């Protein structure tokens, strides 16, 4: 059972990866080994093959779900804006207006510069990340089993080799990709508001305004600047990855005795209710830190 449990956890935490296996790579599928006589683009049959693909690997499930949820967010808000009325709003319009007002209030209270980009950016970050986090509340076996059925029925794939993670924010590539985008915005706003020379002075003459301490200042400022996207991305990833892992461990309880299964149902409900707060809070924290970082980048000394 321990071995099966380990395989179950690894399977659920492995992404559907598409990439290029190098020439000479030895693939082993169902006990049969084959040597690739040329570089081959294919879906990885496990974490080992995914690692062998290197930087060319693409997490198909993470990209698919993140892009799909982003499009759903855009279409939903476009639909509400198109159908918006000046009279008594419907429930959906009232909900969207409340959400927009909530984000706008936080932007006005936190961002002290002037930019038409900050409020739409903050709204996009909050809703998009919340939707990606919300996928964690779907039962852990539902979509992966469905994907395995599609793979085996229509493509003849071995269900054991069909990997399908449905929570994009449990993939560090997604969370760090978003945080690196925020990092580039920080650089852009810093140069835009202070100029290239002013931004350079900020990196080299803070906290000690003396030319002899420029190397020391630069190291301190560079570390502070680079830790922002790293901490922003890893915080979101760590919280959602831990939450997903707990759901998987609870799901394993259903394979035990009846008493253990009933206990698992209770724990599942309790953790799901608590996790609603977690996914909302993590989306809010990412949004607020982005606003704060961009506000700091817009300040002049």
- Which residues are 33's β-sheet partners? 28
Task: Say which residues have a Cβ less than 8 Å from residue 62's Cβ, sequence separation at least 6.
Answer: 15, 165, 168, 171, 173, 174
192 is catalytic: no
Using CA atoms, how far apart are residues 215 and 205, in angstroms rounded to an integer? 9
Kindly state the DSSP code that residue 22 receives in the 8-state scheme. Answer: P
Among 239, 257, 295, 298, the one annotated catalytic: 239
Instruction: List, edge to edge, every strand of the sheet that includes 40-43.
Output: 40-43, 17-21, 58-59
15 is catalytic: no
Structure tokens at 209: 């305004």
Using CA atoms, how far apart are residues 254 and 263, in angstroms rounded to an integer? 9
Residues 104, 108, 111, 114: is their CA dihedral positive or negative?
A: positive
Among 190, 235, 295, 298, the one annotated catalytic: 235
Find, among 296, 291, 289, the residue nearest to 233 by Cα: 289
Using CA atoms, how far apart are residues 116 and 118, in angstroms rounded to an integer? 6
- Which residues are 41's β-sheet partners? 20
Q: Provide long-range contacts, Cβ within 8 A and 24+ apart, for 22-30.
A: 22/52, 25/49, 25/52, 29/158, 29/161, 30/158
27 is catalytic: no
| Structural contact between residues 48 and 10, judged by C-beta atoms closer than 8 angstroms | no
Taking phi over 0 as left and psi of -120 to 50 as alpha, with beta for the rest, 54 belongs to left
First to last CA, the chain: 62
Give me the active site residues, please. Answer: 231, 235, 239
């Amino acid at each position: 059972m321990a071995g099966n449990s380990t395989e179950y956890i690894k399977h659920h935490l492995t992404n559907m990866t598409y990439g290029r296996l190098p020439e000479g790579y030895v693939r082993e599928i169902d006990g049969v080994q084959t040597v690739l006589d040329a570089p081959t683009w294919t879906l990885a049959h496990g974490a080992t093959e995914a690692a062998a693909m290197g930087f060319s690997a693409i997490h198909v499930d993470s990209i698919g779900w993140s892009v799909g949820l982003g499009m759903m967010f855009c279409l939903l808000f476009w639909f509400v804006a198109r159908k918006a009325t000046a009279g008594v709003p419907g429930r959906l319009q009232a909900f969207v207006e409340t959400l927009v007002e909530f984000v706008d209030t936080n932007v006005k209270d936190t961002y002290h510069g002037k930019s038409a980009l900050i409020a739409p950016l903050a709204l996009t970050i909050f809703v998009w990340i919340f939707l990606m986090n919300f996928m964690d509340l779907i039962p852990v076996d539902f979509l992966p089993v469905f994907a395995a059925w599609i793979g085996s029925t229509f493509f003849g794939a071995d269900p054991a080799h069909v990997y399908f993670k449905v929570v994009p924010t449990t993939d560090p590539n997604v969370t760090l990709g978003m945080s690196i985008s925020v990092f580039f915005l920080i650089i852009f706003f810093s140069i835009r508001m202070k100029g290239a020379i002013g931004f350079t002075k900020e990196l080299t003459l803070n906290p000690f305004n003396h030319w002899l301490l420029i190397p020391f200042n630069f190291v301190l400022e560079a570390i502070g600047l680079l830790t922002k996207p790293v901490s922003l991305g890893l915080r979101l990833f760590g919280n959602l990855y831990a939450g997903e892992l707990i759901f998987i461990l609870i799901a394993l309880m259903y394979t035990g005795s009846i008493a253990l299964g009933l206990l698992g149902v209770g724990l599942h409900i309790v953790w799901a209710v608590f996790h609603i707060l977690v996914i909302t809070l993590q989306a809010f924290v990412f949004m607020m830190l982005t606003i704060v970082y961009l506000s700091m980048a817009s300040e002049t000394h």
